[in-house]
Amino acid sequence: MEPDIIYEDKYLIAIHKPAGVATQTSRVTSPDIVSMTSGYLSRSGKISGSNGSVPFIGLINRLDQPVEGIVLMAKDKRSASLLSEQLRNDEIEKHYLAGIVGSKPEQGHLTGNILFDKRTNTSSMVPDNTPGSKPAALEYHMIKTIKPQNCSPSEDTVISLADIHLITGRHHQIRVQMSDAGLPLLGDRKYAPEYVRNVNDLLKISEICLCACSLTFTHPVNNDKISLRVKPQCRWYRLFN
């Protein structure tokens, strides 16, 4: 599999990651974005490794395997360090498109604290000052709301296409925070309530309806403002077209 390159220069490369492909994995037999990019850079002779044969790849943002979208990487250590600092300081603007079950409120600013449980690989909203928790914030607005064609006239189920501005970057943040607000993600079988699973089955949705569609950051070398954007390729997005 060749990486879908959406941006590349001497210092950076950005890939449109398909849903279902890992960003990075230790499994030799499983494809991932970092190894695919490394192979591409090696084959093309675009090497910046110290030994002249292994490309340096500094992973800046990581997407969960089920999530589609933009993955940004640096080709040298200095660029990786500067971009990672932007990420830590919440200076990289991140927008997602998501399929939501529900429509109200139509927009909002969500804040709270998230606690990550490493044993179960899950996160949850917890009271402020809970030991080990981290503050989380996002903004959202509904772009389009429709009634699924498969629903009967008597059903009041609606689904919405939402733009989500992720202000912080916590584990499973969008899935947890939106579900806690009563606006769970279509296709989510981990954090969404039971009624969402019924909608998933009705619409034959098996993937999480989430795409990291936009990244805006400052170039680490020339200080230009770079804005990258992709359109979701998964079937769920076509429900709103």
102 and 83 fall within a common domain = no
- In the numeric block, which tokens belong to residue 134? 């981290």
Measured distance CA(31)–CA(27) in Å, rounded: 8
124 and 176 fall within a common domain = yes
Question: Is the pTM of the predicted complex or chain greater than 0.85?
Answer: yes
166-194 pLDDT, tens digit per residue, is 999 999 999 999 999 999 999 999 999 98
Distances (CA, A) of 5 to 14, 141, 217: 6, 29, 17
* Domains identified in the chain, total number: 2
Distances (CA, A) of 135 to 130, 167, 210: 10, 10, 22
Domain range enclosing 37: 1-89
- Single out the residue in 64, 89, 114 at which a domain terminates: 89
85-144 pLDDT, tens digit per residue, is 999 999 999 999 999 999 999 999 999 999 999 999 999 999 999 999 999 999 999 999
